[in-house]
Chains A and B, each alone.
Chain A
Amino acid sequence: MSGVWTWLSDSSHWKGSDGIPVLLGQHSLLTLVAVTAAAVVGLPVALYLGHHHRGGTLAVNLSNIGRAIPIVALLSLLSLGAIGSADFGPFGRAGLATLITLGLFALPAIITNAYTGVAEVDPDTVEAARGMGMSGWQVLLRVELPLAASLIITGLRLAVVQVWATATIAALVAGPGLGQIITEGYNTNSQAEVVSGALIVGGIALLLEIAMALLQRVADPVARAVR
């Protein structure tokens, strides 16, 4: 374990194009872009379906289907295909394949939770809002959306954690990001490097989870009212 500390405190691992800051930047950028893209695509769909109570079975089962897709296989298939085999801007080698895979993996959690959140708002509340003369849009924006906020953020939280993990796996198929520290450690037979990489990736994943949980508490109007 002392080897881990030595590896982490070696300043050469914090510099250059494959240094920790650069990889961390790639990893964060990938996660941010993938989750944002998935939210831009998934949230309107989920809100529409939830508001009209349509397509529930599919929306709810989507996250189970998502878990069944072998990440490694999808990454490999995409990176050997026509897209993403070349360099892709700041995302590095196989970046586009990675980005697409990550976006796909973020979708189910976002859609399932946002759908459930909107569809399961108390029908009495919705009826009361309509009775007050609210239009469909007003009901969605001023009643359903705030009440669903907690679950919507749960979906985003799951998506962020899932995408962060998947981005790590991307290194197995020559993708960018912090997973490269781990795979390089295996290739050079350096257990200290493997464990260091794992600690960095796992530690940040836990921090992300905690940060999103706090955000969720802030965004929930019911919890705020009780307080």
Chain B
Amino acid sequence: MISLLVPGAAQNCLTRNEWVCGKYFSRFHSDLTSALGQHLKIVVVSVLLGLVIAFPLALLARRYRKLEWGVVGATTAVYTIPSLALFSLLVPWTGLSETTVVIGLALYSLTVLVRNMIDGLRAVPDDVKESAIGMGYTSRRMLFAVELPLALPAIMAGLRVATVSAVALTTVGSIVGYGGLGTLLIQANGTQFKAQVLATSVLCVLLAVALDLVLVAIQTALTPWTRRAVAR
């Protein structure tokens, strides 16, 4: 806007504040790369943390049926709390840090991860389990060699939903200064910097799609029997 008032100043899509602007990428690509890196790190760490917490919770809920209601209820209740509020409630303990965002997102991922793990383990057919017991499998060996592989499609489905929504929710982390692409997006929103708003939005969606494709590839690699069934 200001450049319009200065005779001879360079006119380009940045000074005209256009939505799509190639010059934006060439000038700001290092900002974008580091924001993307932070975004990816927050998503991966939080979902892995969620997975590590969800696994024992699901086993506990399966072992003691009375606990299932409590575990599922508690993780659902967490999901009910708006992300902006959840991050803010963590701030007194973890401060304005990456940890706040990671813990918040991990808690959100629990809802879908725990539920899908319980459902997946429950869907393992009884006769398969009986065969394993008949073959002398210990309960630990049965869990890792029979039940978990068979529950994998359900668990991976949960993991995909958790990952994709973590990518979207990370942007809210900008409130504590660690929102990955979201931090750039909110800054740009404040100054009405259109090229940056659009670029970070699109990158966010692309990151979610890319991570989803990676998880699909992992699932296909881990469950070769489902591939063969489709090929037949």
Residues of chain A whose beta carbon lies under 8 Å from any beta carbon of chain B? 1, 64, 67-74, 76-77, 79-80, 161, 164-166, 168-169, 171-174, 179, 182-183, 185-186, 191, 194-195, 197-199, 201-202, 205-206, 208-209
What is the CA–CA distance of A133 and B81 in the complex, to the nearest angstrom?
A: 48
B residues less than 8 Å from A197 (CB atoms): 85, 88
Known: A168-B84, A182-B175. 10 other contacts (CB 8 A): A68-B165, A70-B171, A72-B182, A72-B185, A73-B185, A80-B194, A165-B83, A195-B89, A202-B80, A205-B85
Interface footprint category on B: 35 or more
Smallest CB gap from A85: residue in B: B192
What is the CA–CA distance of A72 and B176 in the complex, to the nearest angstrom?
A: 15
B residues less than 8 Å from A77 (CB atoms): 197-198, 201
What is the CA–CA distance of A198 and B84 in the complex, to the nearest angstrom?
A: 7
Picked from A67, A171, A195, A199, the residue with its CB within 8 Å of the CB of B161 is A67
B residues less than 8 Å from A171 (CB atoms): 84
What is the CA–CA distance of A173 and B187 in the complex, to the nearest angstrom?
A: 10
Known A-B contacts A70-B201, A70-B205, A161-B80; A202 and B185 likewise in contact (beta carbons under 8 Å): no
The secondary structure that dominates the B interface is helix
6 residue pairs, one from A and one from B, having the closest CB atoms:
A165-B82, A73-B201, A198-B88, A198-B85, A168-B82, A72-B171
A residues less than 8 Å from B77 (CB atoms): 206, 209
Contact B85–A68 (Cβ < 8 Å): no
B residues less than 8 Å from A164 (CB atoms): 82
20 A-B pairs with CB atoms under 8 Å apart are A68-B164, A68-B167, A68-B208, A69-B168, A70-B168, A70-B205, A72-B182, A168-B84, A169-B84, A169-B172, A174-B189, A182-B175, A194-B88, A194-B91, A199-B85, A201-B84, A205-B81, A205-B82, A206-B77, A209-B77
Contact A76–B185 (Cβ < 8 Å): yes
A residues less than 8 Å from B204 (CB atoms): 70, 73
Known A-B contacts A76-B197, A80-B194; A195 and B171 likewise in contact (beta carbons under 8 Å): no
B residues less than 8 Å from A71 (CB atoms): 168, 171-172
Smallest CB gap from B112: residue in A: A67
Contact A183–B201 (Cβ < 8 Å): no
- In the assembled complex, the CB of A84 is this many whole angstroms from the nearest CB of chain B, namely 13
What is the CA–CA distance of A161 and B108 in the complex, to the nearest angstrom?
A: 14
B residues less than 8 Å from A202 (CB atoms): 80-82, 85-86, 89
Known A-B contacts A72-B186, A161-B80; A195 and B201 likewise in contact (beta carbons under 8 Å): no
Known A-B contacts A64-B161, A194-B88, A194-B91; A72 and B80 likewise in contact (beta carbons under 8 Å): no
Contact B88–A72 (Cβ < 8 Å): no
- In the assembled complex, the CB of B80 is this many whole angstroms from the nearest CB of chain A, namely 5
A residues less than 8 Å from B75 (CB atoms): none
Contact B175–A186 (Cβ < 8 Å): yes
What is the CA–CA distance of A197 and B175 in the complex, to the nearest angstrom?
A: 14
Contact A169–B198 (Cβ < 8 Å): no
Q: Does B134 contact A (CB under 8 A)?
A: no
What is the CA–CA distance of A41 and B198 in the complex, to the nearest angstrom?
A: 28
Picked from A79, A183, A195, the residue with its CB within 8 Å of the CB of B175 is A183
- In the assembled complex, the CB of B32 is this many whole angstroms from the nearest CB of chain A, namely 14
B residues less than 8 Å from A198 (CB atoms): 84-86, 88-89
B residues less than 8 Å from A70 (CB atoms): 167-168, 171, 182, 201, 204-205, 208
What is the CA–CA distance of A168 and B87 in the complex, to the nearest angstrom?
A: 12
Residue from A161, A199, A202 having most chain B Cβ neighbours under 10 A:
A202
Contact B80–A209 (Cβ < 8 Å): yes
